Structure 1
């Protein structure tokens, strides 16, 4: 009697667990190393077992993230169904296809212009638009995606929440070839089109703006959140600028635990959270008198830091720079900042999504030009 190879035995066992719901859609399988240790086999053997699962369409392998379950045998999902058929399940209109937009939040400093541009381009392309905000909550994001798909949208534009892990809803859209474009925050290693800014280059240029003017003890300010690709790129760019100057970016001078600007905290804790963060920042500033400048990854963070500096009478001594800004009608800027081209990001995301809806399955990454806009004195008054 012919003996079944070990890799097939492992494959069959995992396959059975998937069919019996031992592994749910979106669950991460053990790594090849973990499987080899679990079954006392070589890495080559465990790799062959995983490859068989992938070939059968039961799992998908995402570089740097792992292997994820994407389908159950007895209830196949829409992996083999054209995206158009999904959208036609429950159409909102007999005539006008609708695009769904999921944002974690938006404001005058970043998001409003982009959202307006998305709506305008939807009109130009003959689409309606439906907006849902996740308010920075992963469950809100998943619920929003599910709701939009239940309503029969033809595709989705999404600004992902701050989280290192990908939601099951996004993973399902990828493996089902449902039209989706991400904006502002890119999902590295996942085949989804993206439109946004080269955050590493922009961060490097903004850091060099301070370094070129003699500032060497810069406090890097970021929210208390999982490091998305966008945040990681801004950190890399900041450090790269210091390296180019032959300097070391001292992370002991960084503020990394501000919560007030995160949509979930802002929505539910508001003024209380802001007061706690301001107290924390003021204490940090007083403990680190060597800091000569501040680099905030968001405009709202810059405003909080500036308020704290002003309370201490240090607003003229320590410049604050940031990403984005709430410029007034005559383009006066409170802080020197990276000005992202929101209108271009918005319109391009719709055009790319429209191409996907019409059958173009090419994954695109579009980096939209930015520029450094210097502060104007009038805006500070």
Structure 2
């Protein structure tokens, strides 16, 4: 019998449901409790039950059907029997990206994402190719090609909504990645940035910090792009769940077209100039975190003894900074694999409308040396 105290609560929920599947209490097609119901049933928060459901989806044990609920799914998701949905075998999967964006693939977010797509394509013996949007003419006319689309990226010419609508109307089998447009009813897979922001902030709270600054990218507090806005929401949620009041003065908004160390440097200096300065900073990218570390050191603060810092992205340098950076790995290799899996599922207008609309990949917190327990005695 599982001991609830020996594992994280989200993991306990996952293992408990697996145990019920194994014992036959839950069978293929059975509905399971909603996110709210699971939170009540296991006496936990909705963020925990949401993460448990995401883990079960990622493992292919349940399927979410919009407007209906979450159901046990034990059949092979890649079954090619026509009676299971008439799936047409794909010969090729293309990743369509905005013009002038190939340099972005040097970032681990995209590099790992592509690795995940490549691995899944190799597993299913499907060719994989990168396509600039300008090279995608006529792609929708081939039923043996599936597309994973990156609609937008910082500093690039974004793929327009009108283009996505045209592809959908032409019947292109596609999945959006990283960005999404719910009104288009196109399946999409993203990293759960809200959970990522929550994990980073909750880690600092667990170490005793209550004055936690955050550095986000945007034009103003009211104008922050999709991913950073969700990380900020996760930050607010963690504070709220621990009874810590949100303080707008602890939010530093830095404007730039790409993530730069200087943003974190300036943002940290702003926060550390406060009369009641933070004891910890969540920089919403590793590059900003590197700048925050530099600013803290210049001000004579010992990191992590006098200032804890968390980053986001797990870029290669984060393992080797001094101190090594506590950060959030976005698990984008899994996102790439999942995008391929969605393309390989039975594909019809009805299936698109009823299911597979949204997939969220759960990120991972990596605890290193840049965070430590807060001590009021410095």
TM class, shorter-chain normalised? 0.5 to 0.7
CA deviation map 1:153-192 (0-9, x unaligned): 7232133326899632223333433222122333334312
Aligned equivalent of 2:3: none
- The correspondence of residues 344-355 of structure 1 with structure 2, limited to 5 A, is 344-355=334-345
Aligned equivalent of 2:297: 310
Relative to structure 1, the CA distance from residue 101 to residue 250 in structure 2 (aligned partners, 3 Å threshold; closer, same or farther) is: same
Q: Across the two proteins, how many residue pairs are aligned to each other? A: 262
Give the SS at the match of 1:215: coil
Alignment counterpart, residue 281 of structure 1, candidates 249, 253, 267 = 267
Aligned equivalent of 1:115: 114
Alignment counterpart, residue 159 of structure 1, candidates 150, 156, 169 = 150
Give the SS at the match of 2:168: helix
In the alignment, structure 1 residue 102 sits paired with structure 2 residue 92:
no
CA deviation map 1:278-313 (0-9, x unaligned): 663364145225122111222222222223223333
Alignment counterpart, residue 201 of structure 2, candidates 201, 207, 220 = 207
Asked which structure has the greater RCO (Cα within 8 Å, sep 6+), the reply is 2
Alignment counterpart, residue 216 of structure 1, candidates 183, 207, 210 = 210
Relative to structure 1, the CA distance from residue 286 to residue 202 in structure 2 (aligned partners, 3 Å threshold; closer, same or farther) is: closer
Aligned equivalent of 2:177: 183
Give the SS at the match of 1:313: coil
- The correspondence of residues 254-269 of structure 1 with structure 2, limited to 5 A, is 254-259=251-256, 261-262=258-259
CA contact (8 A) 2:265 2:293 kept: no
* Alignment TM-score, normalising by the size of structure 1: 0.58
* Alignment TM-score, normalising by the size of structure 2: 0.58
Q: Which runs of 5+ in 2 are unaligned?
A: 1-86, 371-378
Q: How far off its partner does 1:375 sit?
A: 0.8
How far, CA to CA, are the matches of 1:234 and 1:208 in structure 2?
12
Relative to structure 1, the CA distance from residue 165 to residue 252 in structure 2 (aligned partners, 3 Å threshold; closer, same or farther) is: farther
Aligned equivalent of 1:374: 367
How far, CA to CA, are the matches of 2:197 and 2:318 in structure 1?
25
Cα RMSD after superposing both structures: 3.6
- The correspondence of residues 317-336 of structure 1 with structure 2, limited to 5 A, is 317-327=306-316, 334-336=324-326
Look at both structures and tell me which one has the larger radius of gyration over its CA atoms.
Answer: 1
CA deviation map 1:244-286 (0-9, x unaligned): 1222221222121241635xxx7xxxxxxx65x4663364145
Aligned equivalent of 2:236: 239
- The correspondence of residues 125-204 of structure 1 with structure 2, limited to 5 A, is 125-132=124-131, 144-150=132-138, 154-161=145-152, 167-204=161-198
CA deviation map 1:54-99 (0-9, x unaligned): xxxxxxxxxxxxxxxxxxxxxxxxxxxxxx9xxxxxxxxxx95342
In the alignment, structure 1 residue 343 sits paired with structure 2 residue 336:
no
